[in-house]
């Protein structure tokens, strides 16, 4: 177990300097955002490095940690150089609260938040006890692929064989790579590695949402946002069962958060970080590729409409630059993967017939309506209703500076939802079976982003800091 934690800590040390270098925000003020974001990005980047090592060296080896160590030293050196040449003197918005009596609400909501974290951690532990190797997707896809990467030696690519098509060998390798890398540090396979990664991404998602909203809206609103996400029962359950949908949900949220912080606080490398997180989402599951494409297209189109072609080109290039490493790994993986896509299309005529079937539309809408309410529930469909009521009471007040980026985030979530709808509409699989076995996890992809949108849009009683005036 200590070796696993050491391997994850090394990955975190790789990611945090990346975030600090690119964001150029004062670490003291944004420590939680940068640490959670950096540690998770580090796990994703280390997975990419591990995959590239497999391709170039031919087999898993603990020597990959030397490469990681060199990367960390290089990042720390660049950070030291940047601090010497251009110390961070850019002003950042400060608290607008004037009195010391404002400690009461953050204290109360903070205590409730940490109590919720403890309860969910106990539930997580109980689920782990029941599913020590994860549920079906974990042991038949992600952990199985990790075993091929780690134990396979020079024959690790046999884990991508069409002979085991039931295990979805066409899925990307962020989670298997991260697990196999931990096993390389340990010198053997252990059930604690996937458990530790699942625990981090489950509560890291809650922590990132809380820290992002707190940075913009204040501690009280941040804790409330975290509580709403903790109320999503499926988050802890699916996280403990080691589904890759939770890390995917994290990178969706991380990309959207970086996009917003880029504009709100004029974060220099915010777009590169947003692109990196979207790229890591694509390296996690196929749905992440759709998210990355939507982010590039929607952000570019809105830039053209509300800014200029020059600005659209600049922002698109920054997003692509951030996504470059995971996209390179994804393209390389697809080029050596002999297994075709898991989605079987049986022709245009059949797809048109399904699209024109009103019965299919009603079935899909019914399932989606239930899943939308269940996504944020305390098992009685109250979570989303409470969130809507809270937004209604607080009102909506979006700073003019972030109109475009807010529209981008909202459109990405909406079109990602539409993409899921379209897949269900044309799927050749049994519709009831397909939806019932996946719909709850698909909505967990979007639910943290939905909470983020709600809390960033509402006119909260106290705004933590006003954004700097646009240049």
Judge whether 103 lies within some domain.
Answer: no
202 contacts: CB under 8 Å, gap ≥ 6: 124, 235, 236, 239, 240, 246
Q: Are residues 216 and 33 in contact, defined by beta-carbon separation less than 8 angstroms? A: no
If you search the block for the tokens 């949900």, which residue do you land on? 249
Number of domains in the chain: 1
Instruction: Give just the sign of the alpha carbon dihedral 289, 457, 231, 374.
Output: negative
Return d(Cα 76, Cα 292) in angstroms, integer: 29
Average confidence score pLDDT of the chain = 85
pLDDT digits (tens, 9 = 90+) for 157-192: 888 888 887 888 889 999 999 999 988 888 788 889
Please give the pLDDT value at position 327. Answer: 96
If you search the block for the tokens 């150089």, which residue do you land on? 81
The residue among 469 and 266 whose pLDDT is bigger is 266
Return d(Cα 145, Cα 167) in angstroms, integer: 9
Judge whether 98 lies within some domain.
Answer: no
| DSSP secondary structure letter of residue 377 | -
Judge whether 89 lies within some domain.
Answer: no
Residue 210 in this model has a pLDDT that exceeds 90: yes
Residue 380 binned pLDDT confidence (cut-offs 50, 70, 90): very low
The residue among 194 and 233 whose pLDDT is bigger is 194
pLDDT digits (tens, 9 = 90+) for 3-49: 777 878 888 888 888 998 888 777 777 889 999 999 999 999 999 99
Judge whether 27 lies within some domain.
Answer: yes
Return d(Cα 248, Cα 279) in angstroms, integer: 11
Please give the pLDDT value at position 302. Answer: 94
Distances from the Cα of 110 to the Cα of 32, 219, 223, 233, 463, angstroms? 15, 8, 6, 20, 17
Tokens representing 217 are 């809206």
Please give the pLDDT value at position 167. Answer: 83
The residue among 428 and 301 whose pLDDT is bigger is 301
pLDDT digits (tens, 9 = 90+) for 225-234: 999 999 877 8
Alpha carbon distance, N-terminus to C-terminus of the chain: 50
Please give the pLDDT value at position 161. Answer: 83
Q: Which of 131, 137, 133, 134 is nearest to 171 (CA)?
A: 137
Q: Which of 218, 220, 210, 321 is nearest to 257 (CA)?
A: 210
pLDDT above 90 covers a percentage of the chain that reads: 47
Instruction: Give just the sign of the alpha carbon dihedral 298, 301, 305, 311.
Output: positive
Return d(Cα 260, Cα 277) in angstroms, integer: 13
Return d(Cα 218, Cα 415) in angstroms, integer: 30
Return d(Cα 269, Cα 458) in angstroms, integer: 26
Judge whether 88 lies within some domain.
Answer: no
Collapsing DSSP to helix, strand or coil, 396 comes out as strand
Judge whether 230 lies within some domain.
Answer: yes
379: region left, alpha or beta (phi > 0 left; psi from -120 to 50 alpha):
left
pLDDT digits (tens, 9 = 90+) for 258-312: 999 998 888 778 999 999 999 999 999 999 999 999 999 999 999 999 888 999 9
Distances from the Cα of 286 to the Cα of 6, 245, 369, angstroms? 30, 11, 24
Structural domain harbouring 255: 7-83+110-339+349-457
Burial environment of residue 323 by CB neighbours within 10 A (0 to 12, 13 to 18, 19 or more): buried
Please give the pLDDT value at position 35. Answer: 92
Return d(Cα 249, Cα 245) in angstroms, integer: 6
The residue among 77 and 284 whose pLDDT is bigger is 284
pTM comes to 0.91
Collapsing DSSP to helix, strand or coil, 458 comes out as strand
Judge whether 93 lies within some domain.
Answer: no
Judge whether 105 lies within some domain.
Answer: no
Residue 85 binned pLDDT confidence (cut-offs 50, 70, 90): low
Tokens representing 164 are 């085991």
pLDDT above 70 covers a percentage of the chain that reads: 89
71: region left, alpha or beta (phi > 0 left; psi from -120 to 50 alpha):
alpha
Q: How far from chain centre, in Å, is Cα 65?
A: 25
Weakest-pLDDT range from 31-45, 91-105, 346-360:
91-105
Q: What is the rounded average pLDDT of the residues 448-465?
A: 75
Residue 416 in this model has a pLDDT that exceeds 50: yes
Q: Are residues 178 and 197 in contact, defined by beta-carbon separation less than 8 angstroms? A: yes
Count of all residues that appear for the chain in the document: 471
Q: What is the rounded average pLDDT of the residues 341-370?
A: 82
């Amino acid at each position: 177990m200590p070796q696993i934690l050491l391997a994850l800590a090394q990955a975190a040390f790789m990611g945090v300097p990346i975030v600090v270098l690119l964001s150029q925000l004062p670490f003291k003020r944004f420590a939680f955002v940068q640490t959670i974001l950096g540690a998770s990005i580090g796990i994703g980047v280390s997975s990419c490095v591990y995959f590239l090592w497999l391709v170039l060296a031919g087999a898993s080896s603990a020597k990959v940690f030397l490469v990681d160590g060199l990367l960390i030293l290089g990042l720390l050196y660049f950070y030291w150089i940047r601090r010497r040449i251009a110390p961070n003197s850019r002003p950042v918005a400060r608290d607008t609260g004037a009195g010391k009596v404002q400690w009461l609400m953050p204290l109360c909501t903070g205590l409730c938040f940490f109590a919720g974290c403890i309860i969910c951690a106990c539930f997580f532990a109980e689920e782990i006890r029941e599913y020590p190797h994860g549920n079906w997707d974990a042991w038949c896809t992600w952990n199985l692929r990790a075993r091929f990467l780690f134990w396979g030696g020079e024959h690790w690519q046999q884990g991508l064989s069409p002979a085991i098509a039931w295990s979805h060998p066409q899925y990307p390798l962020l989670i298997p790579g991260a697990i196999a890398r931990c096993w390389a540090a340990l010198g053997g396979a252990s059930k604690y590695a996937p458990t530790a990664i699942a625990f981090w991404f489950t509560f890291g998602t809650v922590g990132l949402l809380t820290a992002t909203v707190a940075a913009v809206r204040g501690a009280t609103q941040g804790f409330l946002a975290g509580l709403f996400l903790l109320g999503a029962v499926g988050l802890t359950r699916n996280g403990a069962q080691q589904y890759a949908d939770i890390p995917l949900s994290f990178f969706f949220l991380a990309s959207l958060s970086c996009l917003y912080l880029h504009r709100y606080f004029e974060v220099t490398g915010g777009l590169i970080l947003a692109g990196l997180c979207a790229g890591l989402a694509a390296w996690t599951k196929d749905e992440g590729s759709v998210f990355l494409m939507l982010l590039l297209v929607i952000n570019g189109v809105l830039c053209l409409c509300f800014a200029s072609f020059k600005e659209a080109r600049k922002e698109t290039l920054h997003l692509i630059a951030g996504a470059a490493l995971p996209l390179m790994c994804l393209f390389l993986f697809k080029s050596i993967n002999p297994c075709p896509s898991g989605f079987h299309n049986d022709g245009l005529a059949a797809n048109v017939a399904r699209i024109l079937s009103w019965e299919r539309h009603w079935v899909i809408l019914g399932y989606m309506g239930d899943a939308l309410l269940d996504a944020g529930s305390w098992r009685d469909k109250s979570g989303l209703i409470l969130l809507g009521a809270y937004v209604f009471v607080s009102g909506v007040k979006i700073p003019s500076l972030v109109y475009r980026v807010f529209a981008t985030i909202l459109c990405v979530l909406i079109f990602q939802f539409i993409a899921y709808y379209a897949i269900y509409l044309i799927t050749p699989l049994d519709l009831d079976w397909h939806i019932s076995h996946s719909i709850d996890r698909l909505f967990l992809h979007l639910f943290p982003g939905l909470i983020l949108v709600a809390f960033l849009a509402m006119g909260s009683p106290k705004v933590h800091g006003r954004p700097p005036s646009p240049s």
